[in-house]
Amino acid sequence: MSRLVFEIGFEEMPARFLSSLVHEGKEIMKAKLTEIGLGFGTVHADATPRRLAIRVEDLDAVQEEREELVTGPPAAVAFKDGEPTKAAIGFARGQGMSVEDLTTVTTDKGEYLALTKRTGGVAAMELLPPVLEACITGLTFPKKMHWGSGEFTFGRPLRWLLALLDEDVVPLSIAGLESGRKTWGHRVHGPGPFELKGAFDYEKLIHEKCRVTLSASMRRELIMEHGEAAALAVGGQVVWNHSLLEEVGGLAEMPVPIVGDFDPSFLELPKEVLLTSMESHQKSFGVQNSDGELLPHFLATLNLNPTNEELVKKGWERVLKARLEDARFFWKTDLAAEQSDWLDKLEHVVFLGPLGSMGDKSRRIEALCGWLAEHLEPSQENDARRAGRICKTDLVSEMVGEFAELQGVMGAIYADKQGENAIVSTAVGEQYLPAGPDSPLPEATCGAILSMADKADTLMGCFGLGRIPTGANDPFALRRGVLGICRILVDRDWRVDLRDFLTQALDGYGDITWKLPREEALDKALEFFREREKNWFASQDFPTLMVEAALQAGYTDVPGARARLAALKEFSSEPGFENAVLTFKRAANIIRKQAESMELSGKFDPDKLEEEAEKNLAMTLGRMSPKFDVMWEKEDYQGLMALMLEIRPAVDAFFDNVMVMCEDEALKRNRLELLQALVSRLGRIADFNALQM
């Protein structure tokens, strides 16, 4: 077994590109090796700012040999008077064989010419060059660039290629570079070049001579370990931002954390402002005490081991001081502003095309918050309306103009400073939650109401304009917004009918001219909700068909749909589940087919039933219906499932002994109405047709 090492060296690559390079490089290598029939073991891939390193363990030295039987023309036309015809000669030539290699095989269609082709057995060294080339050309980037006079494009200019199969160089020529056995190390502490004798020495050379930490996870661990030690030395602990940690880990090949200081007077600024200023501009972390209060220190990460750490630290401190001075200016300017001034400014900030200004949007949100609070938490209607009215004012503040990621956060702080009560200011701070599929939900009731109102307003505005997400294109994050609404509704068990809610949001736009007809926009938005619910429930380990069955019965009450789904999943483990489903599917199928030609109400005449089995079903249904209705009202879905098992024997007996589609039209209709009465109730729980047994 052999080892392959392929290192692509390039100029400093943006940190945000690295994780996709690792994933793509690894997958391309595996796919191409499989395609050419070279067996392999584990494939490793790592990236630093200056290299992508792919290593393949236990690589076969020779391609797997295969035999393939290839059939040709019928034997009857292959030879004439013992001599091969053009058909036979052409078949052999086309396969790179001679006529003497031909045989005949008997198939269902008769005798045909055939030959056995042996493929494979090619040395790995001959097969690898195009594989390695694909590992370069197959990589994707948000943006590519040219360099020099060549036409080749890549994320950053390529500088070297190391390609070794055990101790031999795999030949490759691309972008003016030739592969070899040389690599380059850290620009300061191990520049190189260094020559690699064999593939098995790669990691040792990279670590000891190149002074490079190849693994991204190891770089992050080093930053955290040494960073915490440095913070502890000044009596604090690091405020870790994990997305920033990943970015910083992608900026250094040899990360060295250091702690710097800033003037304690800057601690008058809100913690969120200080952290954002450090993180966004300086790629640094804050340091706090055990009570969560910031200390006048920060943690920076260098890409070298400085000879004069104090000098380097002063440079970082000087730049951060300028940033914090700016932040303090924004803070003081904003504190001097009045809420009414910001509300006036919102009238001149465009929301989206013909949908008016951000002032218009805040008034719509105010009204929608009032409607939601009236239905969900009437005691908070006034606070919800106020939160909706001022929720966007921080968009015109100096601070959010500089740090857009602080929108909402600064809104809450400024609302508090300007005398709004805690309920209102907290709600403003939670309006953008949840920020992702697994991120925290609003903790406050008013915050949850405001979050839903804001998201619904944006959703209906976009759908009315026909700006509906397609594929990966979702510039207004509507998928995230809809999932956020669903999560809030389920978390709080809030029963709001989505059609009513979205209609209210759409009505808030008044007489705007829409691109889509009003009802079409509403229907498309509801279907959009349905798809998000379906995907979300499926991600929670509910079987896809079961999710479909539950949503077919109704999805506009999101917590109710999930409760029915949970009961259905629990019911599926019962011994009689499959037979019950088959029985109810049969009833539903009959009704579905007949619905095309007749309208059924579910009202039947028990006096016109003839067979004992149908009379028994009618009696059982009559006895069970009141129980069903009570359980449905109480949302006792487990009880409803148990009731279904009770009624099943009567339904089975009905199908075993009663001819539904009889010749007597009146009798047939009465029996169909009986089944309709059954199906209409069961259909509230789930569409059993969607289940497969």
Place of tokens 């006036």: 344
Confidence (pLDDT) at 523: 96
In the chain, what are the domains?
2-62+123-208 (3.30.70), 66-119 (no CATH), 216-335 (no CATH), 341-540 (1.10.3210), 562-690 (1.10.730)
pLDDT tens per residue, range 135-185: 999 999 999 999 988 889 999 999 999 999 999 999 999 999 999 999 999
- Both tokens of 77, joined, read 């036309």
Got the DSSP string for 544-577? HHHHHHHHHT--SSHHHHHHHHHHHHHHTTSTTH
Q: What residues does 294 pair with on adjacent strands?
A: 288
Confidence of residue 126 (pLDDT cuts 50, 70, 90): very high
Confidence (pLDDT) at 71: 80
- 254 in the Ramachandran plot: left (φ > 0), alpha (ψ -120 to 50) or beta? beta
CA 23, CA 15: separation in Å to the nearest integer?
14
Phi, psi torsion values for 315, nearest 5 degrees: -65, -45
pLDDT tens per residue, range 482-492: 999 999 999 99
Surface-to-core class of residue 341, CB atoms within 10 Å of its CB (0-12 exposed, 13-18 middle, 19+ buried): exposed
CA 424, CA 439: separation in Å to the nearest integer?
22
pLDDT tens per residue, range 368-426: 999 999 999 999 999 999 999 999 999 999 999 999 999 999 999 999 999 999 999 99
Confidence (pLDDT) at 502: 98
Confidence (pLDDT) at 693: 62
Whole-structure pTM over 0.85, yes or no? no
Radius of gyration from C-alpha coordinates of the chain: 35
What does each C-alpha distance from 565 to 491, 533, 627, 633, 641 come to in angstroms? 15, 11, 20, 17, 11
Surface-to-core class of residue 336, CB atoms within 10 Å of its CB (0-12 exposed, 13-18 middle, 19+ buried): exposed
CA torsion angle 369 530 568 685 (round to 10): 80
Task: Please check whether residue 266 is in contact with residue 296, taking contact to mean a CB–CB distance below 8 angstroms.
Answer: yes
Decide if pLDDT at 651 tops 80: yes
Decide if pLDDT at 606 tops 90: no
Confidence (pLDDT) at 487: 97
pLDDT tens per residue, range 670-690: 888 888 888 888 888 888 888
Identify which of 358, 371, 363 has the alpha carbon closest to the alpha carbon of residue 504: 371
Confidence (pLDDT) at 661: 82
- Both tokens of 67, joined, read 């035999």
Q: Where are the beta strands (DSSP E) in 49-147?
A: 51-59, 66-74, 79-80, 83-84, 103-107, 110-119
Decide if pLDDT at 120 tops 90: no
Q: How many helices (H) and strands (E) does the chain have?
A: 24, 18
According to DSSP, residue 470 is labeled B
Decide if pLDDT at 446 tops 90: yes
Decide if pLDDT at 600 tops 90: no
pLDDT tens per residue, range 14-49: 999 999 999 999 999 999 999 999 999 999 999 999
CA torsion angle 674 680 682 685 (round to 10): -170
CA 492, CA 372: separation in Å to the nearest integer?
13
Decide if pLDDT at 125 tops 90: yes
Confidence (pLDDT) at 82: 72
Confidence of residue 596 (pLDDT cuts 50, 70, 90): low
CA 129, CA 457: separation in Å to the nearest integer?
55
Q: What residues does 273 pair with on adjacent strands?
A: none
Decide if pLDDT at 594 tops 90: no
Task: Please check whether residue 73 is in contact with residue 89, taking contact to mean a CB–CB distance below 8 angstroms.
Answer: no
Confidence of residue 595 (pLDDT cuts 50, 70, 90): low
Identify which of 577, 572, 583 has the alpha carbon closest to the alpha carbon of residue 656: 583
Phi, psi torsion values for 111, nearest 5 degrees: -90, 135
CA 420, CA 426: separation in Å to the nearest integer?
10
Confidence of residue 501 (pLDDT cuts 50, 70, 90): very high
In 3-state terms the chain splits into helix, strand, coil percentages (rounded to 5) of 55, 15, 30
Task: Please check whether residue 631 is in contact with residue 643, taking contact to mean a CB–CB distance below 8 angstroms.
Answer: yes
Confidence (pLDDT) at 33: 95
According to DSSP, residue 271 is labeled H
Task: Please check whether residue 490 is in contact with residue 562, taking contact to mean a CB–CB distance below 8 angstroms.
Answer: yes
pLDDT tens per residue, range 65-115: 777 778 878 877 777 777 787 877 787 787 777 777 777 777 777 788 787
- Helix (H/G/I), strand (E/B), else coil: 62: strand
- Helix (H/G/I), strand (E/B), else coil: 678: helix
Q: What residues does 194 pair with on adjacent strands?
A: 183
Say which amino acid occupies 655: F
How many whole angstroms from its chain centre is CA 248? 23
Decide if pLDDT at 118 tops 80: no
Terminal-to-terminal C-alpha distance of the chain: 48
Decide if pLDDT at 133 tops 90: yes
Percent of the chain with pLDDT over 70: 99
CA 48, CA 52: separation in Å to the nearest integer?
7
- Helix (H/G/I), strand (E/B), else coil: 290: coil
Decide if pLDDT at 650 tops 80: yes
CA 399, CA 334: separation in Å to the nearest integer?
7
Place of tokens 């045909």: 112
Decide if pLDDT at 567 tops 70: yes
How many whole angstroms from its chain centre is CA 69? 45
pLDDT tens per residue, range 264-283: 999 999 999 999 999 998 99
Task: Please check whether residue 76 is in contact with residue 111, taking contact to mean a CB–CB distance below 8 angstroms.
Answer: yes
Decide if pLDDT at 522 tops 70: yes
- Both tokens of 237, joined, read 């602990």
Decide if pLDDT at 657 tops 90: no
Q: What is the largest CA-CA distance in the chain?
A: 108
CB atoms within 10 A of CB 296: 16
Confidence (pLDDT) at 52: 98
**Average pLDDT, rounded, for the chain:** 92
Confidence (pLDDT) at 451: 98
Confidence (pLDDT) at 471: 82
Decide if pLDDT at 122 tops 90: no
